[in-house]
Amino acid sequence: MSHLTWGGVDCVELARTLETPLYVLDEGIIRERCAEIRSDFMSRWAGTWACYASKAFLTTSMAWIMDQEGLGLDVVSGGELYTALRAGFPPYRTNLHGNVKSERELHLALTSGVGHIIVDSLMELELLDGLAGEARRPSDRRGRPRILLRVAPGVDPHTHSYLVTGQAGSKFGLPLEGGPDGTSLLTEAVRFAMSSKSIALAGFHFHIGSQIFENGAFVEAVRRVAACMERLNKELGFKTRTLNVGGGFGVPASPDEPHLPLRLFTDAMMSVLTEECEARGLTRPYVTIEPGRWLVSRAGITLYTVETIKRLSDVTYVGVDGGMADNPRPALYQAQYHAVLANKIGEPPAEKVVIAGRCCETGDILVESAELPTVERGDILAIFNTGAYNFSMASGYNRLLRPAVALAHNGWADLIVTRQTYEDLLIGDVIPERLLT
């Protein structure tokens, strides 16, 4: 019977020394993905770049690694931007996204000098134009703040309905085509941006969804956007210099299934974009991709301690010391996970169990069906593929302490986020004077 290792580190030992629940990231896998992005996308296709969608997982260490790997960083809030800036990440290599941005967040983006602000609506565009006029820094060598307009190409990427983001009628972006009355929000936005003296429109952005396993919808989105680029060029004389095609590249649920190569998605998109631009007499724009999950999901596992086992007549519940507070994805959209007993690797499966989270919700089931060796109290359970959208989606539900994050590499592990303490839970709590009398 052997132990699971992650990044060369014994997971049972990690659980003993750092306690559970514990997120563990294999730094080697993150760096392998970055190397694949450089070799199979950035070096293979001229005029391309990649930004890591940091909402998947962001800490100052992660921003540091992305900087070392030469990638850009997508942020969707003032908090993510602040984290990147505090990690010393070059602001001009960050992009600010989001369908709702507060005035304060736009102001932070303008004054810190982010690379692109991706504008989601006409109202945001007008607000930004005003703010940029006021916030103009004379020392800004890069001139006016650069923006992209987010468009919704109206394609269906065949993923969970909660993960579709570029369909017709989406809350994200502006539709490519006009409404029944012939007016087009996008045309209006481009016209407005072209006439602005405070901001510079560089091009467009789309992100059609997440956990996508085939390239059909990406290719269709590129075709539609290329047709729109031609239309805007003819109607308004607008030349698209940058096209950001988003992320969403899928990661199989089981660690036994092969990793999906980036080229599966990007080669198809780049070929079609090149063809379309040639056929339409357009210069191919500079292209950016934004992988999130694809880059970090497989690098992460979560370690839990088995606290209780309840054997009912038709089901066995294995209760662990974490749950939807550290991984809300099964409860949010039936995300599938694969689990093993980290202290019983190599033991044959003996039972089919349900892995139950400890939160006070019937829906807090981490794994619906896991085949494990005979489970005993105190076993260490490892759930795979938790590198993306686990730590970043963690909540304080039930006042559970947010787990620590360890970064493992070549047999060595470092804490990159410490476990919350009970004292931390009280930060920000105040009892007003009125109640104390």
Ligand X SMILES: *Cc1c(COP(=O)(O)O)cnc(C)c1O
Which residues carry out catalysis? 360
- Pick from 210, 266, 385, 386 the residue near ligand X by CB under 6 A: 210
Looking at the Cβ atoms of 33 and 55, the one nearer to ligand X is 55
Rounded least distance, CB 336 to ligand X, Å: 16
Cα distances (Å, whole numbers) of residue 164 to 217, 251, 266, 275, 359: 11, 16, 19, 27, 28
207 near ligand X, judged by CB under 6 A: yes
The pairing of strands 48-53 and 72-75 is parallel
- Pick from 50, 53, 106, 128 the residue near ligand X by CB under 6 A: 53
In terms of C-beta distances under 8 Å and separation of at least 24 residues, what long-range contacts does 237-240 make, across chains too? Answer: 238/190, 238/194, 238/201, 239/282, 239/283, 240/203, 240/204, 240/282, 240/285
At which residue do the structure tokens 């839990």 appear?
304
Helix (H, G, I), strand (E, B) or coil at 74: strand
Considering only CA atoms, give the Rg of the chain.
23
Closest CA relative to residue 320, chosen from 402, 376, 396, 363: 376
- Pick from 3, 33, 97, 402 the residue near ligand X by CB under 6 A: 97
Please answer whether residues 349 and 314 qualify as being in contact, where contact means their C-beta atoms are separated by less than 8 angstroms.
no
Between vectors from CA 13 to CA 11 and to CA 16, what angle results, nearest 5°? 110
Q: Which of residues 304-343 bind ligand X (CB under 6 A)?
A: none
Looking at the Cβ atoms of 247 and 330, the one nearer to ligand X is 247
Tokens representing residue 10 in the block: 């014994």
Rounded least distance, CB 51 to ligand X, Å: 8
Beta strands in 286-401 (DSSP E): 286-289, 300-311, 316-320, 339-341, 351-356, 365-372, 380-384
Rounded least distance, CB 393 to ligand X, Å: 12
Q: Which one of 48-56, 229-237, 318-326, 425-433 is the stretch in contact with ligand X (CB under 6 A)?
A: 48-56
Q: Which of residues 387-406 bind ligand X (CB under 6 A)?
A: 388
Rounded least distance, CB 249 to ligand X, Å: 6
Number of residue whose CB is nearest ligand X: 292
What is the torsional sign of CA 396, 398, 401, 406?
negative
Closest CA relative to residue 123, chosen from 109, 107, 103, 143: 103
Q: Which of residues 236-295 bind ligand X (CB under 6 A)?
A: 246-249, 290-294
Rounded least distance, CB 214 to ligand X, Å: 14
Looking at the Cβ atoms of 7 and 157, the one nearer to ligand X is 157
Name residues whose C-beta falls within 8 Å of residue 89's C-beta, 6 or more positions apart in sequence. 63, 64, 66, 67, 73
Q: Which of residues 350-389 bind ligand X (CB under 6 A)?
A: 388
Looking at the Cβ atoms of 51 and 370, the one nearer to ligand X is 51
Rounded least distance, CB 50 to ligand X, Å: 11
Looking at the Cβ atoms of 7 and 98, the one nearer to ligand X is 98
Q: Which one of 9-17, 52-60, 137-145, 273-281 is the stretch in contact with ligand X (CB under 6 A)?
A: 52-60
Looking at the Cβ atoms of 80 and 321, the one nearer to ligand X is 80
Q: Which residues bind ligand X (CB under 6 A)?
A: 53, 55-56, 74, 97, 207, 210, 246-249, 290-294, 388
